[in-house]
Amino acid sequence: MDEKIAPDLLIVEALAPDCAVCNLSRPDLIDWPESWPELSDLSNEVKSRLPQTHGRLMDLSLAAHFLLVSPEHANLQHARRKFINSLNPDLLPKEIFNENSNWSLVPVVMVSEGKGANIYYFMVGARTDASCANWPKWLMDHLDITSLGAVIDAFQAAQAFSGIFCNLFTFPLMPPDAE
For residue range 3-28, list pLDDT tens digits in order: 899 999 999 999 998 999 999 999 99
Q: For 37-80, what is each residue's pLDDT tens digit? A: 999 999 999 999 999 889 999 999 999 999 998 777 777 888 99
Dihedral of the alpha carbons of 159, 164, 168, 171, in degrees to the nearest 10: -70
Q: Does position 1 have pLDDT exceeding 70, yes or no?
A: no
- The predicted structure's pLDDT at residue 142: 80
pLDDT at 164: 72
In angstroms, the CA 74 to CA 19 distance is 31
Mean pLDDT within 140-148: 82
Mean pLDDT on 93-98: 87
pLDDT of residue 2: 66
Does position 115 have pLDDT exceeding 80, yes or no? no
For the segment 152-173, what is each residue's pLDDT rounded down to a tens digit?
888 888 878 877 777 888 999 9
State the pLDDT at residue 121: 94
Q: pLDDT tens across 77-90, in order?
A: 889 999 999 999 99
Contact 43, 58 (CB under 8 A): yes
- The full DSSP string for the chain is -PPPBPHHHHHHHTTSHHHHHHHHT-GGGB---SSHHHHHHHHHHHHHHS-GGGHHHHHHHHHHHHHHS-TT-GGGHHHHHHHHHHS-TTTS-GGGG-SSEEEEEEEEEEEETTTEEEEEEEEEEEES---S-SS-GGGGGT--HHHHHHHHHHHHHHHHHHT---EEEEEESS-TT--
User: In terms of pLDDT, which residue wins out, 158 or 124?
Assistant: 124
For residues 125-152, average pLDDT: 82
For the chain, what are the domain ranges?
Answer: 7-172
Instruction: Report d(CA 174, CA 59) in Å as an integer.
Output: 11
Residues in the chain: 179
